Chains A and B, each alone.
Chain A
Amino acid sequence: MSARPTPFLQLRKPVSRRQKLLSALAIWVLFFGIWIVASASGLVNPLLVPAPQQVFATTFDLFFSRGFGSDVLISISRVLIAFALASAVAVPLGVMMGSFPAIEAFFAPFVSAWRYLPAPSFIPILLMWFGTGEAPKLALLFLGVIFFLITLIMDHTKNVREELVETALTLGAPRHKVVARVIFPAVLPDIVTAMRQMLAMTWTYLVIAEIVASTTGIGAMMMRARRFLNTDEILSGIVVIGVLGLLFDLTFSALHRWAFPYLRKA
């Protein structure tokens, strides 16, 4: 046999863990490398693109001497409150719609119509109705995710296999117990996954709300920074939003693994 060297690019052959890690590291090193070189060499205007080390220094400064922490906490609490309210409506409603076609027939025409309306188009009217407090922001986040969340949960509920429902019926379960004891636990892992996806969307609306109509929160800080041409602070805001989004996502996936051990294969 001739020892032909294996090519670097192999069609659909999975790569080793080590190569995966190195590759992930490499792309980020490359990204920051180019950024550092570009700002150090004066190729880009430092006013528009500050060096990464400066962005990180500013981030620390923001947190430890300029009270940015309270903005971050406000943003997080907005996301969590609005998302909790949306889930409190969407989970029971979605499960009921997915279980009882009569309930679906009533709500679905309404829910799917609202899904096509971009939530930010409500900002002006929300500001008129609710003034400038927390209410319009929470309302925007709520409107932004609730209809998608209901639809996703309903679809997942409909996918619960008919045989499971029929098994429960032939064991003598009345309708409410079929929903509570079979359909709901069967769909719960998918509900958590849907919530994880929609939480990411809530973050998107948060930034919109805070940029358009807020004096507090991460988005508002970024808009203030723009007025004073503090590009480093704007980029700090972006980094913080990204990290928070990632942390929430990781929390949800940990929750999923912890709550549903039976999904793990033996």
Chain B
Amino acid sequence: MSAETALEIREISKEFELSGGRKLVAVEGAGFTVERNSICVLLGPSGCGKSTILRMIAGLETPSGGEIVIGGRRVEGPGRDRGMVFQAYTSFDWLTVRKNVEFGMQINGVPAAERRERAERFINLVGLGKFAEAYPSQLSGGMRQRVAIARTLANDPEVLLMDEPFGALDAETRWLMQELMIEVAEKTNTTMVIVTHDLEEAIFLADKIVFLSSHPGRVKEVIVPEFKQGARIADKERAVKLDGYSDLEAHLMRLMREEGRGKE
């Protein structure tokens, strides 16, 4: 894996104005880098500012301090170079799966023939080939997230941002989706930033884990899962059995517990 930087988060902070003029510091001086074609996982207890950081990267929130740089440009707002997949279902109900996946390309003026071909490719990549003409209301939750992933990837972003994308799914569907993400990363060379509070998900997906402390959100530790020896593991069951997996899990649990105590 090359170490070229795709995304640089430089000491960003975020203050929210609460009602009554009080201020809440959600994120304070958080900084890390995301290498090209890597999967970076933001992990931390609930409420520590993961979503806020991801939304700042997406350009949906403006940092109160610091800056975010993607491909040498400073982030000033949302754009197609940073596609986002949310935990809530975001399929456009009035469009078929195919039209959903073509949506971004159509907005951005990609010619019809190329649009169709790319949509086809990404619909097949996420395993929805048979459902191209179905409407989202006819699909299960996991399938709808597949539509959202295909739609974002087909739009050719530089970074794929995902905020607890599998949080609403049942356990079995969740690990199928995690394995799908590894497959997608391998086949498409997409840089990803994935937010989760699920330790297992973090360990399985991450090339690098950025662990955040809470109140305010800061980077507590950056962890590279060394046990993977620089390669991704496509099979969840195999990953769990590897030497070093349980050590890392125990380490993350300890971090989680420290942060959890801090809150009380």
* CB within 8 Å: A-B pair count: 74
Cβ-defined contact, A167 with B137, below 8 A: no
- Give A174-201 interface residues, CB cut-off 8 Å to B: 177, 181-182, 185-186, 188
A262 within 8 A of B: yes
Chain A hits for B84, CB < 8 A: 166-167, 170
B2 within 8 A of A: no
CA distance A264 to B134 in the complex (A): 12
Cβ-defined contact, B94 with A163, below 8 A: no
Q: Which of B58, B82, B90, B108 contacts A164 (CB 8 A)?
A: B90
A263 within 8 A of B: yes
Give the nearest-CB partner of B103 in chain A: A171
Cβ-defined contact, B60 with A172, below 8 A: no
CA distance A181 to B94 in the complex (A): 10
CA distance A161 to B88 in the complex (A): 10
Q: Which of A163, A171, A188 contacts B80 (CB 8 A)?
A: A171
Interface centre among A164, A188, A260 (most CB of B within 10 A): A164
Chain A hits for B148, CB < 8 A: 167
User: Taking A171-B83, A171-B104, A262-B137 as contacts, is the C-beta distance between A163 and B60 under 8 angstroms?
Assistant: no
Cβ-defined contact, B92 with A170, below 8 A: no
Bitwise interface map of B from 96 to 110 toward A, beta carbon under 8 Å scored 1, else 0: 000000011001100
B93 within 8 A of A: yes
CA distance A161 to B91 in the complex (A): 11
CA distance A78 to B107 in the complex (A): 41
Chain A hits for B136, CB < 8 A: 262
Cβ-defined contact, B82 with A170, below 8 A: yes
- Counting contact residues on chain A (CB < 8 A from B), the size range is 20 to 34
Chain A hits for B50, CB < 8 A: none
A125 within 8 A of B: no
Cβ-defined contact, B107 with A173, below 8 A: yes
B135 within 8 A of A: yes
A66 within 8 A of B: no
Chain B hits for A74, CB < 8 A: none
Cβ-defined contact, A167 with B86, below 8 A: yes
Chain A hits for B58, CB < 8 A: 166, 170
- Give A210-226 interface residues, CB cut-off 8 Å to B: none
A265 within 8 A of B: yes
Q: Which of B79, B92, B103 contacts A186 (CB 8 A)?
A: B92
Give the nearest-CB partner of A261 in chain B: B135
CA distance A148 to B93 in the complex (A): 27
Chain B hits for A163, CB < 8 A: 86, 88, 90
Q: Which of A167, A185, A263, A264 contacts B90 (CB 8 A)?
A: A167
Q: Which of A171, A185, A264 contacts B152 (CB 8 A)?
A: A171
Interface centre among A169, A170, A181 (most CB of B within 10 A): A170
User: Taking A172-B104, A177-B107, A260-B94 as contacts, is the C-beta distance between A166 and B155 under 8 angstroms?
Assistant: no
Cβ-defined contact, B108 with A172, below 8 A: yes
B142 within 8 A of A: no
CA distance A16 to B86 in the complex (A): 42
Give the nearest-CB partner of A173 in chain B: B107
Bitwise interface map of A from 242 to 266 toward B, beta carbon under 8 Å scored 1, else 0: 0000000000000000001111111
Give the nearest-CB partner of B85 in chain A: A167
- Give B111-161 interface residues, CB cut-off 8 Å to A: 135-138, 148, 151-152, 155, 161
CA distance A164 to B148 in the complex (A): 11
Chain B hits for A263, CB < 8 A: 93, 137
B78 within 8 A of A: yes
Q: Which of A168, A171, A262 contacts B94 (CB 8 A)?
A: A262
Can you add 14 more A-B contacts, CB < 8 Å, to A186-B93, A263-B137, A266-B138? Answer: A167-B86, A170-B79, A170-B84, A170-B152, A171-B107, A172-B79, A172-B155, A181-B103, A181-B107, A188-B94, A262-B93, A262-B94, A262-B135, A264-B137
28 example contacts (A-B, Cβ-Cβ < 8 A) are as follows: A163-B88, A164-B92, A166-B78, A166-B86, A168-B107, A169-B60, A170-B80, A170-B83, A170-B84, A170-B161, A171-B83, A171-B151, A172-B79, A172-B104, A172-B107, A172-B108, A177-B107, A181-B103, A185-B92, A186-B92, A186-B94, A262-B93, A262-B94, A262-B135, A262-B137, A263-B137, A265-B138, A266-B137
**B interface residues with partner A (beta carbon < 8 Å):** 58-60, 78-80, 82-84, 86, 88, 90, 92-94, 103-104, 107-108, 135-138, 148, 151-152, 155, 161
**A interface residues with partner B (beta carbon < 8 Å):** 161, 163-164, 166-173, 177, 181-182, 185-186, 188, 260-266
